[in-house]
Amino acid sequence: MENIVVEIEHLKKYFGNNKVLEDISFKLEKGKNLVVLGKSGSGKSVLIKCLVGLIKPDAGKIILLGKNIADLDEKGMNELRKKIGFLFQSAALYDSMTVRENLEFPLRDNKELKKVERENLVKEALKNVGLEEVIDEMPSELSGGMRKRVGLARTIILKPEIILYDEPTTGLDPITSKEISQLILAIQKKFNTAAIIITHDIECARITANSLMIIKDGKSAIEGSFEEVSQSKDKWIHSFFE
Amino acid sequence: MSNESVIINPEIIEKKISSLNSFQKGLTDFFEEVSALTHFTIHFFKEVFLPPYEWKEFLKQSFLIGYKSMPLVGITGFIMGLVLTIQARPTMSTFGAESWIPAMVAVSIVREIGPVITALIFAGKVGSGIGAELASMKVTEQIDAMEVSGTNPFNYIVVTRIAAATIMLPLLVIIGDAIGLCGSYLGVNIQGDVSFHLFFLQVFGKLDFSDVMPAVIKTFFFGFAVGLIGCYKGYNANKGTEGVGKAANAAVVFASLLVFIIDMIAVQLTSLFN
Ligand SMILES: Nc1ncnc2c1ncn2[C@@H]1O[C@H](COP(=O)(O)OP(=O)(O)O)[C@@H](O)[C@H]1O
Ligand SMILES: [Mg+2]
């Protein structure tokens, strides 16, 4: 059990009458990718926002890297957050900052870091996503795929143990989508990170998934490897793979 | 027959009830808004004195908010002084009091028109700018991203902007007043001939501490109000792109309204103390 980095039990979240998450449970092992599929509006983003404390769940247990997040104070939560990367759906690059400043932002807390070391970390992160040349550009000058890559670079700069991807390929053309999916795989290999990848892009799921879960009506409808789930006889589940 | 007079049209009742309901809803919304704004303000005062202090961001915002508003404030200030002077001349000359024009214009600019007009322009430019910027940061999840990376977004984004607006507006008002007086000097000289030296002798002869001090103090409150409302509206914007426009618009409307309300209170207080 040492190897479990994420453990979710009976997670529940309602917004007023909107029963978004009813009962979600799963476990994630170190170094593995879990893909979560679900129709849009099914609460996938809410699920991973609960993990990092952006949304407070109504009930259920969330254990990350052995820590129950309900027991953490603000300081403890911030410490834990440094070990968890979050790639937002819109990449969430800070518009008013250059790419370099964006990447330096998560390093702000580390006062001992020398200027050279900071610079090297930024360059290394950009190199990992294959975008060293945009270091001095503004986010508004980048294409959608490049923004995602820079967002990913900002996410991995602290060398997180878990990465949460919110629809990493949505809004990108098929070729760029595939590149991003392969990048996710490459980062998993290189840093041995665990990841939860939220998507409704089957191609992305096929490339990245070690295991797959589908959310339906706020519950996990099925869990298994990509092959198992894709061969499901259930019509509704099968409709994802057509 | 007597029965007929008591029959009441159900449609009218329904209309009455629905208008009562919407009035009630409006009232609840209003108080909810006031309570949310109060919480937001308390949150600001809790964070502003606590470390970490975001000096770098504060200076950057001061530059963007203050320095970048100078041209607009300067131009309006100049026109304000000029127009006020030209308009005052006919009335003043009926009393043969043209020599009083500089002093009169100076007092009205410094005490009232300078601060209020500058604050309104500030609300239109800076208030809407902050509202739109924060709303779009919210919509594109930048605020969430900041929180996840371990930086308190309220402290980094909101506190710095409100502080910068509070400190920059008084400076802008002083600059606007000064340029307004230059405009007035030009206005005086269009039809008359007053030397620069004499003009300012008259101006500062009439302006005393009790004119300047309350005017300066209230501009801090104006600046605070504009920053606060801009941040509040932006930070609480609805998701979706239309949230950005709404936040910017609401920020200007409420900030301008608040400027007038604060001005009214300030005038009452000053007259109480004098
Ligand atoms: N902060 C919030 N407040 C209220 N409702 C929310 C909030 N965030 C998400 N929701 C609602 O939760 C539901 C699921 O949203 P989301 O998780 O974003 O879906 P998706 O699976 O497409 O990512 C939606 O109906 C949305 O309106
Ligand atoms: Mg989503």
Which residue's C-alpha comes closest to atom 17 of ligand 1?
A: A43
- Which chain B positions have a beta carbon within 8 Å of A92's beta carbon? 140-142, 144-145
Q: Where in chain A is the domain with CATH 3.40.50.300?
A: 4-83+162-241
The band of B1, judged by pLDDT with boundaries at 50, 70 and 90, is very low
pLDDT single digits (tens) A127-179: 999 999 999 999 999 999 999 999 999 999 999 999 999 999 998 999 999 99
Whole-structure pTM value: 0.89
Of B133, B141, B146, the CB nearest to A90: B141
Could you name the CATH architecture of A4-83+162-241? 3-Layer(aba) Sandwich (3.40)
- Which chain B positions have a beta carbon within 8 Å of A84's beta carbon? 148
pLDDT single digits (tens) B189-205: 988 788 888 888 888 88
The CA distances from residue A137 to A96, B53, B214, in Å, are 11, 28, 46
Question: Taking 70 as the threshold, does the pLDDT of residue B157 lie above it?
Answer: yes
Structure tokens belonging to residue A155: 């996410």
Say yes or no: A69 contacts chain B, CB-CB below 8 A: no
* A80 three-state secondary structure: helix
ipTM of the complex: 0.92
Say yes or no: A73 contacts chain B, CB-CB below 8 A: no
* B177 three-state secondary structure: helix
Contact B142 A92 (CB under 8 A): yes
Ligand 1, closest atom to CA A55? 1
Of A54, A78, A96, the CB nearest to B144: A54
Question: Taking 90 as the threshold, does the pLDDT of residue B22 lie above it?
Answer: no
d(CA A79, CA A233): 44
What residue type is B66 in one-letter code?
G
Q: What is the DSSP string of B10-35?
A: HHHHHHHHHHHHHHHHHHHHHHHHHH
Instruction: Give the distance (Å) from ligand 2 centre to CA of residue A107.
Output: 27
Pairing of strands A33-37, A211-216: parallel
Average per-residue pLDDT in chain A? 92
Ligand 1, closest atom to CA A89? 23
Per-residue pLDDT, B7: 66
Say yes or no: A93 contacts chain B, CB-CB below 8 A: yes
The answer to whether the bond into A139 is cis (omega within 30° of 0) is: no
Q: Which residue has the tokens 């490339």?
A: A207
**Mean of the pLDDT values across residues B99-119?**
92
User: How many alpha carbons lie under 13 Å from residue B17 in its C-beta half-sphere?
Assistant: 6
What residue type is B145 in one-letter code?
A
Question: Taking 60 as the threshold, does the pLDDT of residue A1 lie above it?
Answer: no
Per-residue pLDDT, B179: 96
Say yes or no: A108 contacts chain B, CB-CB below 8 A: yes
Question: Taking 90 as the threshold, does the pLDDT of residue A188 lie above it?
Answer: yes
The band of A239, judged by pLDDT with boundaries at 50, 70 and 90, is confident
**Mean of the pLDDT values across residues B200-223?**
89
Contact A105 B146 (CB under 8 A): yes
pLDDT single digits (tens) A81-127: 999 999 999 899 999 999 999 999 999 888 888 889 999 999 999 99
The band of A198, judged by pLDDT with boundaries at 50, 70 and 90, is very high
Contact present, B218 and B141 (Cβ < 8 Å):
no
- List of residues 6+ apart from B139 with CB closer than 8 A: B237, B239, B240, B241, B243, B244
Say yes or no: B144 contacts chain A, CB-CB below 8 A: yes
CA angle B160, B163, B166 (to 5 degrees): 150
Contact A89 B141 (CB under 8 A): yes
Structure tokens belonging to residue B206: 């009439």
Percentage of chain B surpassing pLDDT 90? 67
What are the φ/ψ torsions at residue A5 (nearest 5 degrees)? -100, -25
Contact A105 B141 (CB under 8 A): no
